[in-house]
């Protein structure tokens, strides 16, 4: 399976990154809560790593979820 270019160079799979960003945005969990949830699944990730993911991919996830192309243009 080919990786999406926006995730190139990342250690973790795109699914894990998207899951953490989505949970942070949707449920307003803390980064440390997400670290604990990932640890329960056997993944060791730092809260600062999740912070960087949210900063980088938050706008992209809004674009992918949005119904209009205008949202994508704003964040391109």
> What pLDDT was estimated at residue 11?
86
Task: Say which DSSP state 3 is in.
Answer: P
Shortest CA distance to 46 belongs to which of 27, 25, 20, 28? 20
Most confident by average pLDDT, 11-15, 48-52, 57-61: 48-52
Average pLDDT, rounded, for the chain: 81
Residue with the bigger pLDDT between 34 and 58: it is: 34
pLDDT at 71 over 60: no
Separation between Cα atoms, residue 76 and residue 69, nearest integer Å: 11
Separation between Cα atoms, residue 10 and residue 26, nearest integer Å: 23
Q: Where are the domains of the chain?
A: 12-75
Shortest CA distance to 46 belongs to which of 3, 11, 18? 11
In the predicted model, what is the mean pLDDT of residues 42-46? Answer: 96
> What pLDDT was estimated at residue 23?
94
SS3 state at 46:
coil
């Amino acid at each position: 399976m080919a990786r999406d270019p926006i995730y190139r160079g990342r250690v973790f799979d795109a699914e894990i990154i998207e899951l953490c960003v989505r949970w942070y945005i949707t449920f307003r969990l803390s980064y440390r809560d997400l670290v604990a949830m990932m640890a329960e699944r056997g993944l060791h990730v730092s809260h600062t790593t999740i912070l960087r993911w949210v900063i980088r991919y938050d706008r992209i996830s809004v674009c992918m979820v949005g119904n209009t192309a205008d949202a994508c243009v704003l964040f391109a």
